[in-house]
Amino acid sequence: MGGKLLYEGKAKKIFETPHPYEVEVYFKDDATAFNGAKKGQITSKGILNNAISSLFFELLESNGVKSHYLKRIDERSMLVKKLKIIQIEVVVRNVAAGSLSQRLGWAEGKILPSPVVEFYYKSDELGDPLINDYHVAALGLATPEELAFLAAQSLKINSILLKHLLDRKVKLVDFKLEYGKSDEEILLGDEISPDTCRFWDSETNLKLDKDRFRRDLGEVEEAYQEIHDRLAGGPKV
């Protein structure tokens, strides 16, 4: 972390690098939930999320999905392309859980007949509210063509991850994606980890993600480690 600190979020720090179009992402152990109302730390979370995200980005790249990821620098940092972030969070849901269960009255664990794509306005001040195509247009967040690309790309990512994880006995319940522009090209950004996804064991439905922190279920670090080990084929990070 030799460069100037450009931004610090809830779970990551962004540092400048000698290359103006690249930045270093440093993963912290800090954990938050409920829009920052609950705070804590998860031992080695930053190390594990860096490793897990690197594995996912490499998997997606090998399947034709372009992202900001360039390489893993060390156990807590990765080098990425600098993006102009699109202020839309895309959530893909395969199983009812969390806010979807609350909004529609569906029991947690209900398998959806087809994936559901949702858009959220990326705004900490407003609590990242759920929005639709008309809101996106009114706020000027993306063109109709760009929004269609975000949805299609997210569904493609979902298909790739579903199969990859099921082979490792992990059920992909839902996940959040963020995108940004590099020279007007839309690339996948942020991270893909137990912080941004719901992972359940495919046989027992044991939660292996940040819900263990949100709901005080305990064994949080163990869950993150389990996801890493299933992806990497062993405990080494």
For residue 234, being part of any structural domain is answered with no
For residue 229, being part of any structural domain is answered with no
Percentage of residues of the chain with pLDDT beyond 70: 97
Confidence of residue 235 (pLDDT cuts 50, 70, 90): low
**pLDDT of the residue at 236:** 62
For residue 193, being part of any structural domain is answered with yes
> Rounded to an integer, what distance in angstroms lies between the CA atom of residue 41 and that of residue 114?
35
> Rounded to an integer, what distance in angstroms lies between the CA atom of residue 165 and that of residue 227?
9
CATH, residue 59: 3.30.200.20
Average pLDDT, stretch 161-174? 98
Residue 102 in this model has a pLDDT that exceeds 90: yes
**pLDDT of the residue at 1:** 58
Taking a C-beta distance cutoff of 8 angstroms, is the pair 16, 23 a contact? yes
Amino acid of residue 139: L
Name the helix (H) or strand (E) containing 32: strand 30-33
Q: Is 121 exposed, middle or buried (0-12, 13-18, 19+ CB in 10 A)?
A: middle
Residue 109 in this model has a pLDDT that exceeds 90: yes
Residues 47 and 88 placed together within one structural domain of the fold: no
For residue 230, being part of any structural domain is answered with no
Rounded alpha-carbon distances, angstroms, from residue 67 to 158, 163, 194: 15, 20, 18
Average pLDDT, stretch 51-64? 98
Which of 29, 47, 81 marks a domain boundary?
Answer: 81
Residues 95 and 152 placed together within one structural domain of the fold: yes
Residues 95 and 212 placed together within one structural domain of the fold: yes
| Domain span holding position 207 | 84-219
Which of 44, 63, 81 marks a domain boundary?
Answer: 81
Confidence of residue 237 (pLDDT cuts 50, 70, 90): low
Q: How many CB atoms lie within 10 A of CB 30?
A: 16
Q: How many CB atoms lie within 10 A of CB 185?
A: 10
60 or 124, higher pLDDT: 60
CATH, residue 195: 3.30.470.20
Name the helix (H) or strand (E) containing 146: helix 144-166
- What pTM was estimated for this model as a whole? 0.94
Residue 4 in this model has a pLDDT that exceeds 90: yes
**pLDDT of the residue at 33:** 86
For residue 224, being part of any structural domain is answered with no
